[in-house]
Amino acid sequence: MEAGDVRIRREDLEDFCRAVFETRDMSPSDAGVTAEVLVAADAYGIPSHGVGRLRRYVNGLDTGLMLPRESGSTLSETPSSLVVDAGGAMGPPISVRVMDAVIAKARDGGAAFGAVRNSNHFGIAGYYARRALPEDMLGIAMTNTAALGVPTFGREAFFGTNPIAFAAPAGEEGAFVLDMSTTVVTRGKVEVYERRGKDLPEGWAVDHTGKSARDPGSLLEGMQERRGGGILPLGGLDTLLGGHKGYGLAVMVDILCAVLSGGPFGRDVYDTPESSARVSHFFGAIRIDRFRNPREFRADMDRLLRELRSSPPAEGRDRVWFAGLPEAEKERESERLGVPLSGKTWGMLRDLGAETGVSTPKTTS
């Protein structure tokens, strides 16, 4: 942690965020879900999607872009599928509703999938994929986002950071939880660098000419105003390290989330200075026992993850880890010491508390 950073008990931070949302006419249950999703990101060590976005959510509610009451309507439903128009609702509550409905359908049919259109930012995709784990299921969650990613050999943004999450249960090793953007980084991580006054690493993004972008503020402005430039696809600048593969995955997410549900996709998904883009999501759940005994599956998962974790690290590296392990360790640390927040995020929370009349939580450090 850096100078000015703080830690806050997870429950206290959730209570604060929930109370702020309730001042904007969100129901206690929807406010609680949204607070839980935001705080989970910080607890897992993903501040790009954590409570640092609380101001943006409140602004969305104030401008009417994000509606405080969940008003989704079912467009299509079968025993194994569900398509919902969120009607501009907050992303987390409608996403929990649809993911839980998909899990319920999978209990009966073995597998089920759902899509949501006309929604808003839903936080970390892994939160929803994880909901399948207690059910002895594999969980899947994706979302498209505002067009921020530059296609291979391009210099204008045509697709979002379009994250993919996949969760598989294990036993003693916990779970394998992949939660990744299909771009090198997310916009949230660029915003973290801007908040900390740091230059972007080489290879994260390009400017309007297609050359490497180092100034996070200029990049964010350029993407917001659609002047060209954007974040590179997973794999980087060209095909040498597989940039075309990240590009392909990003378009795949757009297809599953938006083209399949009838929502906007590609360059039609964009933020403006006054509002954030309406986005689409995709969720899936698969029963493990339709393939094999879940206990045996978990035992083999333990073996796989343990072998990965105990494999020899490269020279100069301390260890090898698997997806979900760093987040699990960060979560345990957050439970013990408090959820870490940057000094700038803590200042924003204090300001919001003063504006809304909600008491800011005490820090543990």
pTM as predicted: 0.93
Q: Which of 104-118, 154-168, 185-199 is the least confident region?
A: 185-199
Position 125: which residue type?
Answer: A
Give the helix ranges, DSSP H, for the chain: 10-22, 28-43, 54-63, 91-109, 125-130, 187-195, 216-224, 243-254, 294-309, 325-337, 343-356
Domains in the chain (CATH in brackets) are 1-69+328-365 (1.10.1530.10), 70-182+240-309 (3.30.1370.60)
**Is residue 281 within a helix (H) or strand (E), and if so which, with residue range?**
strand 279-287
CA atoms within 13 A on the CB side of 11: 2
CB 283 within 8 A of CB 114: yes
Compute the distance between CA of residue 208 and CA of residue 120 in angstroms, rounded to an integer: 27
Compute the distance between CA of residue 187 and CA of residue 165 in angstroms, rounded to an integer: 17
Position 354: which residue type?
Answer: A
Which tens digits make up the pLDDT trace of 201-244? 988 999 888 888 999 999 988 888 888 889 999 999 889 889 99
Q: Dihedral of CA 285/290/291/296: which sign?
A: positive
Compute the distance between CA of residue 331 and CA of residue 107 in angstroms, rounded to an integer: 29
Which tens digits make up the pLDDT trace of 260-296? 999 999 999 987 766 678 999 999 999 999 999 999 9
CB 117 within 8 A of CB 262: yes
**What's residue 51's pLDDT?**
97
CB neighbours of 303 closer than 8 A, spacing ≥ 6? none
